[in-house]
Amino acid sequence: MAADEKPIESVWTRPRRQREQLSREQIVAEAVRLLDTEGLEALSMRRLGTRLGAGATSLYRHVANKDELIELVVDEVYGELTVPDPGDPANWRAAIGSCAYSVRAMVLRHPWVAAVLGQVGLAYLGPNVIRLSERMLAVVEGAGFAVEESDQAMSTVLAYVIGMATSEAAYLSMLARSGRTEQELMESLEPSAEEAMRDHPRVRESQSAMRGRDPEQLREANFDYGLQRMLDGLAVRLEHLATG
């Protein structure tokens, strides 16, 4: 690096401090708990230091700022994901589907993560993200995609999953703030919904078909429908590669 070249700021590009009384692992674990209980707006270095019984200065020995802390907590929750071993290449569809459901479940457990995925700097350098990427690429390559196309296929699936899960997480966060169950919310909105859809027969018919169904099961069915269509597309692409 040239003497006048500014280094890229990221927690993943700096050496870790060793033998500190407060560890990086403790800081990250407490930050995740804070985010899960109080949300992204409540996260600050001062607030986190108070919860840990330490001054903000102690935290700055491990992370330079809040942006670096966000990098760490995002990688931490990615560590919860599971990706099956590639195994039989013929089972690629089930393996990718299992990973997709794992990503969705993680986002719904930690709804704050949806708001920070676009601002986590060099997230791809995090150990958990790298591990996840390696295992997913092994599944996709085992299915029959070339190395250069495997990353594109994987990214396409993840874009769908994260997009759907983000919308779902936002809805569930709103629901939690309302203090109502999904069923209670649906029932309370029914008169207004019927009035709004009165002159729109297709929308009315569509909503009528879903009436009475369990909202949680309906959300999962909607997610699975889109996921299966994504996998259908990858299957068609694999057939083309095999015959072309």
DSSP 179-195: T--HHHHHHHHHHHHHH
Looking from the CA of 141 toward its CB, the CA atoms found within 13 Å total: 11
Contacts made by residues 190-196, CB under 8 angstroms, sequence distance 24+: none
- At residue 230's C-alpha, the angle toward residues 224 and 232, to 5°, is 100
**Whole-number Å distance between alpha carbons of 62 and 13:** 12
> Nearest CA to 128 among 147, 157, 103, 108?
103
Q: What is the pLDDT of residues 10-61, one digit of tens each?
A: 777 766 655 557 888 999 999 999 999 998 899 998 899 989 988 777 788 8
What was the pLDDT predicted at 120? 58
Q: What is the pLDDT of residues 60-90, one digit of tens each?
A: 888 888 888 999 999 999 999 988 887 788 8
> Nearest CA to 50 among 30, 35, 32?
30
CB neighbourhood size of 231 (10 A)? 17
Looking from the CA of 42 toward its CB, the CA atoms found within 13 Å total: 14
Q: What is the pLDDT of residues 104-157, one digit of tens each?
A: 999 999 999 888 876 655 557 789 988 888 998 999 999 999 988 999 999 999
Instruction: Give this prediction's pTM.
Output: 0.83
Say whether 213 sits in a helix, a strand or coil: coil
Q: How far is CA 16 from CA 48, 64, 101, 122, 135, in A?
A: 19, 12, 33, 16, 26
Q: What is the pLDDT of residues 153-204, one digit of tens each?
A: 999 999 999 999 999 998 888 888 888 888 888 888 888 888 888 888 888 8
